[in-house]
Structure 1
Amino acid sequence: MANPLFARLQATAQRLIAKFGQASTITRITPPDPVLGGDPVETVYAATLVAMAYSAREIDGTEIQSGDIQIYISSVGLVIGPKPGDLVAASGKTFRVIKADPNNYDGLTNVVFIVQGRIAD
């Protein structure tokens, strides 16, 4: 059974992201079938998010590089959970997801997705 505390945290995160964030998209590229071949398939999902720069002390040059951003994505109404390799449109740029954390403390409720984004090539 879901803990009501996490549902309240999820609602609070959603409210703040809706107030201060932006409507955006997450694009997942599914590779072609290894046997049948074909073309990669791009699927676009709607999302609401807030993009923020990492502080100078968090940038270590290896795991977190200069230009990487933290993206807080509301889990409310989100059809998929972001994962590494997905593309996120934020602040007029496209970022590739490097790491994704669902902030799922009870195993049932994704409170908010916090992802590390790096400019996509």
Structure 2
Amino acid sequence: MTFYSEMQAMAAELIEEFGQAGVVRRLEPPDPVYGGDPVVTSYPATLVPMAYEARYIDGSVILTGDMQIYISSVGLAIEPTVGDVVTANGKDYAIVAGDRNKYDGIAPVVFIVQGRMAA
């Protein structure tokens, strides 16, 4: 087991203990050849939503109401990215920024995303 795999396991354990069940939803575009409607795919996730501290809210990059959401990478079939929607605390948050935390380029330790209330 590499150092980053151990960190991934530790992060997953902490998020499991202190977090909650949530969902990451991704809108898959229609087939480029056959067309059709976009398809929403839901991926169950374990996550910890936290409000940003006031000192980080600048009114342009981070707005009042934005959440910093830590998502366990263990067992998650996708890498959350801008455009996905995370359900946490019974509310939907659109991902506007994120960090995969792939320090070794292979194993994501934890996904940390900035969520903004989805319209």
- TM-score normalised over the length of structure 2: 0.95
Structure 1 distance, partners of 2:91, 2:116, is 10
When the two structures are aligned, how many residues end up with a matched partner?
A: 119
Structure 1 distance, partners of 2:8, 2:81, is 19
The reply on whether 1:41 has 2:44 as its aligned counterpart is no
User: What's 1:79 paired with?
Assistant: 77
Q: CA deviation at 1:34?
A: 4.9
User: What's 1:96 paired with?
Assistant: 94
Structure 2 distance, partners of 1:83, 1:21, is 20
Structure 2 distance, partners of 1:58, 1:36, is 45
User: What's 1:27 paired with?
Assistant: 25
- Secondary structure at the counterpart of residue 57 of structure 1: helix
Structure 2 distance, partners of 1:46, 1:71, is 14
Which consecutive unaligned segments of at least 5 residues does structure 2 have?
none
Q: Which amino acid aligns with 1:13?
A: A
- TM-score normalised over the length of structure 1: 0.94
Q: Which amino acid aligns with 1:4?
A: T
User: What's 1:59 paired with?
Assistant: 57
Which consecutive unaligned segments of at least 5 residues does structure 1 have?
none
Percent identity of paired positions between Structure 1 and Structure 2: 57
The superposition leaves residues 56-80 of structure 1 with CA deviations (integer Å, 9 ceiling, x where unpaired) of 0100111111100000000000100
Structure 1 distance, partners of 2:35, 2:79, is 26
- Secondary structure at the counterpart of residue 13 of structure 1: helix
Deviates more, 1:83-92 or 1:24-33: 24-33
User: What's 1:17 paired with?
Assistant: 15
Please report the RMSD computed on the Cα atoms of aligned residues, expressed in angstroms. Answer: 1.2
